[in-house]
Amino acid sequence: MSQQDRIDLEHHFVTARQVAKEDVDRLHELAIGVGWPHRPEDLRQIISLAKGYVACDEIGRVGGSALWFPFGEDAACIGMVITPPRMQSRGGGSWLVQKVLGDIGKREIFVNSTPQAIRLYEQLGFGKYGLGQQMQGYAKAPETPPPVPAGLTLRALSSMDLPALLALDREASGLDRTAVLLRMLEPAEAVLLLDQGGAAVGYAFARPFGRGALLGPVIARNDDEAIALASHFLLRHIGSYMRLDTLAPPGKFTAFVESCGLEPSTTITHMRLNPQAEGSGAVRSYAMVGQAFG
């Protein structure tokens, strides 16, 4: 065992080991302990895409986690960093994240930080690149349901649409998120927005998560098209609990989501290390896959 795999938190030794699919129940206990809404099913999905570590005490109990998700060969996102206050105050969170950074190497690295973790990431060299919010609540119908913009068609995604969807996502994010999107599609509903020529110009997912459903990603060219995509799912889930994680600035889109019952609950600070990738096309992200993935 290397020295960096073990840390002395004031005579309380903790060992890091690779996360495994058998850790679902342990991570669920951690998530519940810090007030996160993840169900075991959500964590099972996350672990299937993740690399990273859990921190264990002398008798094998899991007391912390830090995971990362590769986006192709050039980028990665850090998520599910959970360190209870006692461990955090003694440097355990920084230790776990530094282990993850060592594994990621020279890739561009993203994290969508909670307010409590911003200082930790700043100390590790991350810069701030955007401010967003979690929006959640019981979905309700807007006063005037928005129409699909003229000349466009909204329809359910088919397997034949996957290349177009992945190309749109790459255009919006600058990242190869193929593995994450294909995994999320398994429990998700998805719709595609098409122009008059039948070309894909936007898409959106909604999937079971936490207390209800998570709406995202939403990829579109403009606010009206993003609203049309989001409203498809909001109207289908009236009365149900929904969440949307967004880095979109306050404006027409976020105002519409709020009018449908999803109110801002906490901020999300988008941070980067080794920044490189940027979306380069006409489409952009209005809602994340989820805070852990961007």
Q: What are phi and psi of 69, to 5 degrees?
A: -130, 115
When pLDDT is cut at 50, 70 and 90, the band that residue 88 belongs to is low
* Other beta carbons less than 10 A from residue 5's beta carbon: 12
Q: Which range, of 118-122, 205-209, 280-284, averages the lowest pLDDT?
A: 280-284
Token pair for residue 9? 């938190």
Q: What are phi and psi of 144, to 5 degrees?
A: -130, 105
Among candidate residues 207, 177, 172, 183, the one with its CA nearest the CA of residue 284? 172
pLDDT at site 61: 80
**Euclidean distance between CA atoms 87 and 72, whole angstroms:** 32
pLDDT at 100 over 80: yes
Q: Which domains does the chain have, with CATH numbers?
A: 3-106 (3.40.630.30), 134-287 (3.40.630.30)
Q: What are phi and psi of 148, to 5 degrees?
A: -70, 130
Contacts of 222 (CB under 8 A, 6+ apart): none
Rounded-to-5 percentages of helix, strand, coil across the chain = 35, 35, 30
Token pair for residue 258? 């709020």
CB 14 within 8 A of CB 92: yes
**Euclidean distance between CA atoms 219 and 202, whole angstroms:** 5
Among candidate residues 178, 179, 184, 182, the one with its CA nearest the CA of residue 45? 184
CB 165 within 8 A of CB 157: yes
Q: Which range, of 14-18, 53-57, 138-142, 276-280, averages the lowest pLDDT?
A: 276-280
Whether this prediction's pTM lies above 0.85 is answered by yes
pLDDT tens digits, 187-234? 999 999 999 999 999 999 999 999 999 999 999 999 999 999 999 999
pLDDT at site 3: 40
pLDDT at 11 over 80: no
CB 105 within 8 A of CB 70: no
pLDDT at site 57: 78
CB 287 within 8 A of CB 227: no
pLDDT at 89 over 60: no
pLDDT at 172 over 90: yes
**What is the mean pLDDT of the segment spanning 135-149?**
94
pLDDT tens digits, 19-60? 999 999 999 999 999 899 999 999 999 999 999 999 987 777
**CA distance to 97, 156, 217, 257, 285, per residue, from 231 (Å):** 37, 14, 13, 8, 16
